[in-house]
């Protein structure tokens, strides 16, 4: 498995307001990710993230979501970590609004790798102490460091 610190860079960790709805959050996320990946358009990425959400919410519960998709124009998985200033409804099973998002975009052909990366992120978010610490982070660099330290 690819280590998460090779998939998630400090430049793709954000703290702030991304919008008041799940759709707007995903749109803002697609715009920011597309700016950091050559050959990827925000529209293509947004379309794939929305298509995945239509299959079922990526909200895990406890204020955490794991939006993910496959994309034809990339060769390596990429990720973003977001701490929202204002939680947004992600249609999570527990109905809690989401304020922490880990977004994973993998090449179209990356099946096992995709699942292994998702499992590693879910395991990280299962630690309530870690999640609490992430929510306390005030700067993107701190959020990145706190998230990666466990991998």
The CA distance from 12 to 30, in Å, is 11
Cβ distance 40 to 76 under 8 Å?
no
Short-list 67, 73, 144, CA closest to 102: 67
| Active site (annotated) includes residue 114 | no
Q: Which helix (H) or strand (E) holds 42?
A: helix 42-55
Looking at the chain, the number of H-run helices and the number of E-run strands are 6, 6
Best CA proximity match to 75, nearest among 104, 45, 107: 107
Among the listed residues 68, 83, 114, 124, the single catalytic one is: 68
Annotated catalytic residues are 68
């Amino acid at each position: 498995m690819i280590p998460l610190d090779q998939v998630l860079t400090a430049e793709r960790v954000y703290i702030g307001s991304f919008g008041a709805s799940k759709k707007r959050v995903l749109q803002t996320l697609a715009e920011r990710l597309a700016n950091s990946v050559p050959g990827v358009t925000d529209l293509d990425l947004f379309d794939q993230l929305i298509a995945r959400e239509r299959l079922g919410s990526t909200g895990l519960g406890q204020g955490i979501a794991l939006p993910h998709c496959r994309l034809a124009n990339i060769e390596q998985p990429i990720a973003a970590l977001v701490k929202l200033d204002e939680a947004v409804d992600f249609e999570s099973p527990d109905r809690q609004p989401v304020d922490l998002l880990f977004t994973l975009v993998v090449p179209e052909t990356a099946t096992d790798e995709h699942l292994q990366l998702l499992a590693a992120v879910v395991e990280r978010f299962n630690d309530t102490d870690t999640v609490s610490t992430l929510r306390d982070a005030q700067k993107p660099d701190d959020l990145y460091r706190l998230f990666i330290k466990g991998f």
